[in-house]
Amino acid sequence: MSKPRFIDMFDWVLDLTEAFDSKIPVDEWKMIHDEVGNQIYEGILKIKDETFKIIIEPVTIQGKSVVNLVFEKLVDGKFSQDLVFNSINASRIIGAVIHGAFDKLSNFDDVDFVVFCASTHVDKRMGVYNNIARCLMKLSDFTIIKSDFKVNNGLMTIISKKHWSDEMLKELEKLQK
């Protein structure tokens, strides 16, 4: 196994720096309701000629505030979770999503858990979500609780401010079903 080249490590640092510097404002946040009446917040980001949507789904489980964080890209007139980073540096997109989500999350009274789930394109999507989770941890007092664990339809990563019980994990797993 060969050692990584210094230039490769430097490129990674530049990517990380670009992610933290990508403070592209969310054009508009709107609140909608899902089929059972839960509030969902959607924010639209425009980066160059491409449009992205951040989705924040807050729920309460066993008295704990849980937020499911998702982002999508507008592809052929429809928002999709397919990961297609064509003409824009992926770090710039991730940075914009991180800052947009963090700004919105800071408006919530107290978030106990942030959950990232992927059921399609799982490996790529969880790679991106885990990068977002790590960056959110650097911006806040969240720590990673469990990453890439199997749930019904894919994988899930959870970050939290507090320790949680096995019973709470089982409740969080139901979010993916």
Do 56 and 104 contact (CB within 8 A), yes or no? Answer: yes
Cα dihedral: 12, 98, 106, 151 (round 10) = -100
Bigger pLDDT: 41 vs 173: 41
Higher pLDDT, 87 or 119: 119
Q: Average pLDDT of 94-121?
A: 84
Q: What is the mean pLDDT of residues 19-46?
A: 83
Q: What integer pLDDT is reported at residue 44 of this predicted model? A: 93
- Rounded CA separation 76/80 (Å): 9
Angle subtended by helix axes 90-105 and 122-139, to nearest 10: 50
- pLDDT averaged over every residue in the chain: 78
Band (pLDDT 50/70/90 cuts) for residue 127 is: confident
pLDDT at 75 over 80: yes
Tokens of 172: 């969080």
How confident is the model at residue 56, as a pLDDT? 93
Q: How confident is the model at residue 8 (pLDDT cuts 50, 70, 90)?
A: very low
pLDDT digits (tens, 9 = 90+) for 133-146: 888 887 787 887 78
At position 32, the amino acid (one-letter code) is I
pLDDT of amino acid 79:
92
Out of 30-39, 102-111, 113-122, give the one with best mean pLDDT: 30-39
